[in-house]
């Protein structure tokens, strides 16, 4: 199937690669006196090109929120967004003549790189995880998984109401709960099954009357554990699919601020 990367037979990859090659060739052919700098005609050309590029990439954010039919497909836009975005990593240093320093101008480039790298991460995540997300759901949404988890908990609680402390201890030993924080759930390791030895020890300490229900407790807890694992995996995938945007989007606006400020400083503060 054609993905956003290979859209239209890698059309935008070729556009991007040829653009970079042409600019590189021109860069080495045109050597202004005093070397390459942002304020030569060639420097301005590259600077304007990079700025228009940033504008075009940010326009994708508007395009993807516009749902009315357009002549261009959203997939085409995304493809151009990804491949042209990558080319900026090189166009901007060509603009500055590979001059960097500890200043607001180089910071703008650094921020741009973080935006692009986060974009690469996001694109890789889409490629690798999108097929998994369907498989993990097993037909159910996250909400239904949570529902099942709570129903099982309710069942267990009902069952344990008049049971002895020993039964409760067994329950607490086997059971797995969802942490309240989303971050913990994403970062925490998947819950391991309880140790067989300790369970058999617990079961042995149960009063005679309650030994029959011990198996049910262990089984229900195991089901709950499986549910928590599925919820956790599900959340991890959707986190990797979405959380990169927390870096990508806000920093792209910060980048816009820095680029505009860069222009103000170099033009007005001479």
Partner 1 sequence: MRLLLSKETLSANHSKEISNREFDQRQVLVGRDVSADIRIESRYVSLRHALIYERDQRLFIEDQGSLSGILINQQPQKIAILNEGDEIRIGDVQFRVTSDRAPYALKQLLDETENLNLKEQISRDVDQLNIGALLTKMRMFGLIAVLGTIFAFILIPAASSNRPFWAPGPMTSAHRPIPKDCNSCHTADFDIVPNAKCVSCHSLTEHFPLSKDSSKDPTRCVDCHSEHRGEGGLFSLASQTCQDCHASEPTMKLLKAETKLPLVPSWKHHPKFPLLFPDRKANFKFNHQVHLEKALWSPEGDRTLDCSNCHLSPSHPDRFEPISFQRDCSECHRLDFDERLKEFEVSHGRPDEVFSTLLKIYRTQTRVQEKERGLARRPGKRLEPMKSPDEEARLAEIRLFEQKACSTCHVIEKKKVAAKGVSAYQVLRVGFPSEWVENKSSFTHRQHQAFACSNCHTSVLSSTSAEDLNIPGVAECQSCHSPEVRADAIKTQCSDCHSYHETLRLPKEGSWHP
114 binds partner 1 (CB under 8 A): no
Alpha helix positions (H), the chain: 7-29, 41-63, 74-96, 104-137, 142-160, 165-174, 182-187, 196-204, 211-242, 244-268
Report, in Å, the least distance between residue 159 CB and partner 1.
11
54 CB burial (10 A radius; 0-12, 13-18, 19+): buried
246 binding partner 1? (CB under 8 A)? yes
Q: Which of 190, 193, 195 is nearest to 178 (CA)?
A: 190
- State both tokens at 35: 């070397």
Considering the rule CB under 8 A, would residue 195 count as an interface residue with partner 1?
A: no
Q: Is 270 in the site for partner 1 (CB under 8 A)?
A: yes
Query: Is 14 or 100 the residue whose CB approaches partner 1 more closely?
Result: 100
One symbol per residue from 115 to 144: x for binding partner 1 (CB under 8 A), - otherwise; what is it? ---------------------------xx-
* Residues listed for the chain: 270
74 versus 254: smaller Cβ distance to partner 1: 254
Angle between helix axes 165-174 and 196-204 (nearest 10 degrees) is 170
Beta carbon of residue 199, minimum distance to partner 1 (angstroms, whole number): 16
To partner 1, the closest distance from the beta carbon of 224 in angstroms equals 13
Report which of 48, 58, 104, 95 is spatially closest to residue 80, judged by C-alpha positions.
58
Q: CB 102 → partner 1: shortest distance, Å? A: 7
Among 34, 131, 139, 212, binds partner 1 (CB under 8 A): 34
In 10 A of CB 99, how many CB atoms? 13
Give contact residues for partner 1 (rule: CB under 8 A).
Answer: 32-35, 37-41, 99, 101-105, 107, 111, 142-143, 146-147, 149-151, 154, 157, 160-162, 164-165, 168-169, 171-172, 175, 178, 180-182, 185, 231, 235, 238-239, 242-243, 245-246, 249-251, 253-254, 257-258, 261, 264-266, 268-270
């Amino acid at each position: 199937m054609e993905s956003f990367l290979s859209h239209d037979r890698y059309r935008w990859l070729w556009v991007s690669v040829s653009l970079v090659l042409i600019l590189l060739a021109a860069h080495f052919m045109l050597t202004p006196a005093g070397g390459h700098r942002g304020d030569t005609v060639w420097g301005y050309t590259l600077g304007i090109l990079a700025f228009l590029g940033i504008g075009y990439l940010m326009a994708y954010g508007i395009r993807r929120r516009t749902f009315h039919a357009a002549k261009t497909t959203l997939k085409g836009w995304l493809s151009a967004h990804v491949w042209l975005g990558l080319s900026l990593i090189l166009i901007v240093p060509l603009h500055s003549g590979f001059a960097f320093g500890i200043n607001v101008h180089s910071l703008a480039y650094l921020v741009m790189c973080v935006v692009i790298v986060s974009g690469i991460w996001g694109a890789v995540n889409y490629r690798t995880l999108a097929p998994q997300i369907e498989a993990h759901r097993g037909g159910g949404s996250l909400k239904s998984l949570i529902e099942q988890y709570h129903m099982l908990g309710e069942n267990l609680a009902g069952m344990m109401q008049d049971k002895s402390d020993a039964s409760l201890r067994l329950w607490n030993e086997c059971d797995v709960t969802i942490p309240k924080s989303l971050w913990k759930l994403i970062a925490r390791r998947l819950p391991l099954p309880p140790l067989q030895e300790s369970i058999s020890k617990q079961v042995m300490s149960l009063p005679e009357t309650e030994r029959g229900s011990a198996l049910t407790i262990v089984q229900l807890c195991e089901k709950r554990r499986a549910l928590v694992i599925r919820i956790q995996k599900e959340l991890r995938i959707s986190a990797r699919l979405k959380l990169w945007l927390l870096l990508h989007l806000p920093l792209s606006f910060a980048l816009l601020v820095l680029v505009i400020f860069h222009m103000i400083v170099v033009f007005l503060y001479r």
